[in-house]
């Protein structure tokens, strides 16, 4: 398979790095390599980023390869099986230098983990050791270096114009059904549905948005992060005042507290799934750390209360959904299972394993009787969500139609007119009757993998976003196209000239 939902932390990050390299050659942490004035080497600014990128994956508090944890300065200096790997003032006598320059099997990072460090990076570490291997005064020896680096990192400003189309992992209709919020590169973009016009750009710390929901008060909750770096759940006010640039309102969601109204949680890797209960009183988020977090937001996000995290999966959590009564939470995971959690009893109710592959999205019918899950196997699977006749978790139907993996499931939780939409690697979007499990419509015309899908609050529209940045909006009634645009501001597709 060329691309899958795994692009969260591989292909998406590669694309992000390419965009960043093209536009932001002056980002923090690279100044020394770009010919900055020589001076004392800072551990936290110059050395720690190199260690994070090349060493932490094997030498963190959990894996401790060689009994070495490098994620705090204190533990780094304690060393592992070789004791302290640094001889202050003498890089050539330091075990750390020896391992970095080794040509043998003991080279760090090991060959199976990647290329050796560049001469420039090794020279930076050596110079730091030569200067006494000092720790910056403002950093505690016991401090979590991942957190310290995260605090100091500053996001790049949004691109003025995209040179390459942006992969769309999340989009959402505004409560009035008139606009679409689309995830971009360190930003959210807002587009008119009627004319496809860009009207707002909101700068975000997160490189990618993976989930969006509007709260009852109109605030937008966004789940996202930087793959392998950090994850976050932040709340924005799209109606805040901004500055006008060529008819587009620019909003600062990084520093302006009128725009960024709340940060609910920050994690060490991306948050990939987000759900809001039907009554708007409970919010759930989950992602790469496998933890499911649930907040009580009945009194607003300003007074949000988080329950103890739920750890019920062995791998990334990719999909979330509340039952109509808010008592149960469904989850889908890269561990190939869909599960249901009783939020009242604080216990797992069932596990549905029939996909035998990544489970990307979940839902549950309004009556609470049927669970629905989609995944890499390309099937929409319906299964018993109640204990009727002791058949809980048993598959009742398989909805066919998609020929490749299904990346998203959008469910309109309306008792009178429930509706479900799925998007796939087969370039299509499909509409379903979730109660009967029947396929209603197949929407075509897209030219790439479809990673995001959303149904408008009134149920009259459905939109999808693809790998190539294209967004399409259809009427759910007759499947007619309403709008098509590329959600990469300023991007101009290259036209191939046939010779």
155-164: average pLDDT: 93
Band (15; pLDDT cuts 50, 70, 90): very low
pLDDT value of position 31: 40
- Boundary-marking domain end, from 152, 180, 196: 152
Q: Does any domain span residue 147?
A: yes
pLDDT bin (cut points 50, 70, 90) of residue 436 is confident
Cα dist. 369→224, 238, 391 in Å?
31, 37, 11
Based on the domain organization, do 246 and 395 belong to the same domain? yes
DSSP state of 388: G
**Burial code of 235-267, b = ≥16 C-beta within 10 A, e = fewer?**
bbbbebebeeeeebbbbbbbebeebbbbebbbb
At 35 the pLDDT is 41
Mean pLDDT of 231-257: 97
Same domain as 179, residue 90: no
Residue 220 lies in a domain: yes
Determine the pLDDT at residue 1.
34
CATH number of the domain encompassing residue 432: 2.130.10.10
Query: 149 φ, ψ to 5°?
Result: -70, -35
In angstroms, the CA 497 to CA 499 distance is 6
Of residues 13 and 344, which shows the higher confidence score?
344
**CB–CB of 38/46 below 8 Å?**
no
pLDDT bin (cut points 50, 70, 90) of residue 496 is low
User: Contact at 8 Å (CB) between 384 and 349?
Assistant: no
Q: What is the pLDDT of residue 30?
A: 41
The domain boundary, picked from 107, 122, 152, lies at 152
Share of the chain above pLDDT 90, in %: 77
Residues 117 and 213 in one domain: no
421 vs 20 pLDDT, higher one? 421
Could you say which DSSP state residue 161 is in? Answer: S
Q: Is residue 1 part of a domain?
A: no
Residue 491 is assigned to a structural domain of this protein: no
> What is the torsional sign of CA 298, 302, 308, 312?
positive
- Residue 400: pLDDT band with limits 50, 70, 90: confident
Planar angle of CA 260, 263, 268, nearest 5 degrees: 125
Q: With respect to residue 8, please indicate whether it lies within any of the assigned structural domains.
A: no
Does 2 reside within a domain? no
Strands 305-306 and 310-311: unpaired
Answer yes or no: is pLDDT of 270 > 90: yes
Rounded to two decimals, what is the model's pTM? 0.85
> What's the pLDDT at 389?
65
pLDDT band at residue 21, thresholds of 50, 70 and 90?
very low
Q: Which residues pair with 371 in a beta bridge?
A: 364, 383
- Is residue 11's pLDDT more than 60? no
CA distance 253 to 446: 31
How many separate domains does the chain show? Answer: 2
User: Are both 224 and 315 inside the same structural domain?
Assistant: yes
Domain that holds residue 286: 171-486
Residues 220 and 487: their CA atoms lie apart, in Å, by 19
Residue 6 covered by a domain: no
Own/partner pairs, 94-103, CB within 8 angstroms, 24+ separation: 94/129, 96/125, 96/129, 97/122, 97/125, 97/126, 97/129, 100/125
Distances (CA, A) of 195 to 70, 161, 162, 251: 53, 20, 21, 21
Give CA separation, 300 vs 41, 152, 276, 282, 313, in Å.
Answer: 46, 30, 13, 10, 29
In this structure, is residue 334 part of a structural domain? yes
For the chain, the average pLDDT equals 90
For the sheet containing 419-424, what is the strand order? 406-412, 419-424, 429-433, 438-443
SS3 state of residue 359: strand
Rounded distance between C-alpha atoms, residue 341 and residue 312, angstroms:
9
Contact status, residue 125 vs residue 40, Cβ threshold 8 Å = no
Q: Note whether 305 and 346 are same-domain residues.
A: yes
Q: How far is CA 275 from CA 17, 116, 287, 295, in A?
A: 29, 42, 12, 11
- Same domain (yes/no): 146, 175: no
Do residues 389 and 256 both lie within one domain? Answer: yes
Find which of 14-18, 71-75, 450-454 is predicted with most confidence, using mean pLDDT.
Answer: 450-454
In this model, does residue 299 exceed pLDDT 50? Answer: yes
In this structure, are 188 and 109 located in the same domain?
Answer: no
Q: Same structural domain for residues 142 and 188?
A: no
**pLDDT tens digit sequence for 116-144:** 999 999 999 999 999 999 999 999 999 99
Do residue 370 and residue 329 come from a single domain?
yes
Q: Which residue has the higher pLDDT, 106 or 5?
A: 106
Are 219 and 290 in a shared domain? yes
Cα–Cα distance between 65 and 57 in angstroms, integer?
9
Which is nearest to 413 in space by CA: 435, 439, 445? 435
Q: Of 294, 302, 300, 298, which Cα lies nearest the Cα of 323?
A: 294
Of residues 216, 188, 208, 388, the one with CA closest to residue 297: 216
pLDDT bucket at 498, cuts 50 / 70 / 90: low
Instruction: Pick the last residue of a domain from 118, 152, 186.
Output: 152
The reply to whether 144 and 177 lie within a common domain is no
Measure the CA–CA gap between 348 and 144, rounded to whole angstroms: 32
Report phi then psi at 26, rounded to 5: -105, 25
**What's residue 135's pLDDT?**
95
Residue 2 has, within 13 A of its CA and on its CB side, a CA count of 6
């Amino acid at each position: 398979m060329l691309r899958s939902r795994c692009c969260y932390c591989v292909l998406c990050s590669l694309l992000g790095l390419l965009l960043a390299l093209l536009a932001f050659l002056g980002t923090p942490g690279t100044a020394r390599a770009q010919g900055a004035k020589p001076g004392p080497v800072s551990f936290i600014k110059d050395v720690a980023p190199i260690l994070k990128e090349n060493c932490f994956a094997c030498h963190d508090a959990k894996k401790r390869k060689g009994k070495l944890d490098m994620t705090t300065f204190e533990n780094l200096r304690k060393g592992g099986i070789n004791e302290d790997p640094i001889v202050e003032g003498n890089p050539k006598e330091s075990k750390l230098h020896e391992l970095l320059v080794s040509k043998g099997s003991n080279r760090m990072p090991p060959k199976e983990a990647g290329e050796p460090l560049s001469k420039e990076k090794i020279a930076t570490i050596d110079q730091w050791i030569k200067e006494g291997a000092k720790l910056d005064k403002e950093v505690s020896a016991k401090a979590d270096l991942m957190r310290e680096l995260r605090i100091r990192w500053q996001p790049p400003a949004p691109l003025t114009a995209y040179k390459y189309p942006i992969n769309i992992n999340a989009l959402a209709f505004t409560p009035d059904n008139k606009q679409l919020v689309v995830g971009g590169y360190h930003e959210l973009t807002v587009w008119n549905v009627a004319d496809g016009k860009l009207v707002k750009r909101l700068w975000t710390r997160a490189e990618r948005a993976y989930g969006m929901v509007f709260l009852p008060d109109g605030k937008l909750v966004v789940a996202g992060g930087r793959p392998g770096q950090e994850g976050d759940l932040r709340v924005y006010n799209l109606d805040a005042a901004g500055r006008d640039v060529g008819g587009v309102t620019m909003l600062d969601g990084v520093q302006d507290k009128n725009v960024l109204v709340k940060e609910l949680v920050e994690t060490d890797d991306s948050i990939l799934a987000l759900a809001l209960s039907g009554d708007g009183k409970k919010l759930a988020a989950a992602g790469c750390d496998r933890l499911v977090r649930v907040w009580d937001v009945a009194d607003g996000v300003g007074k949000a209360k988080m329950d103890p995290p739920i750890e019920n999966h062995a791998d990334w959590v990719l999909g979330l959904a509340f039952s109509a009564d808010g008592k149960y939470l469904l989850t889908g995971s890269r561990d190939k299972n869909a599960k249901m959690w009783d939020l009242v009893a604080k216990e797992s109710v069932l596990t549905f394993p029939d996909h035998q592959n990544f489970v990307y999205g979940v839902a549950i019918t309004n009556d609470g009787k049927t669970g629905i899950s989609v995944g890499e196997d390309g099937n929409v699977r319906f299964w018993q969500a109640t204990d009727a006749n002791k058949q809980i978790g048993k598959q009742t139907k398989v909805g066919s139609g998609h020929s490749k993996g299904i990346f998203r499931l959008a469910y309109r939780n309306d008792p009178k007119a429930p509706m479900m939409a799925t998007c796939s690697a087969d370039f299509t979007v499909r509409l379903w009757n979730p109660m009967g499990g029947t396929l209603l419509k197949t929407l075509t015309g897209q030219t790439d993998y479809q990673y995001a899908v959303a149904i408008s609050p009134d149920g009259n529209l459905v939109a999808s976003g693809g790998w190539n940045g294209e967004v399409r909006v259809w009427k759910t009634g007759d499947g007619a196209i309403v709008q098509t645009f590329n959600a990469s501001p300023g991007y101009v597709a290259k036209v191939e000239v046939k010779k």
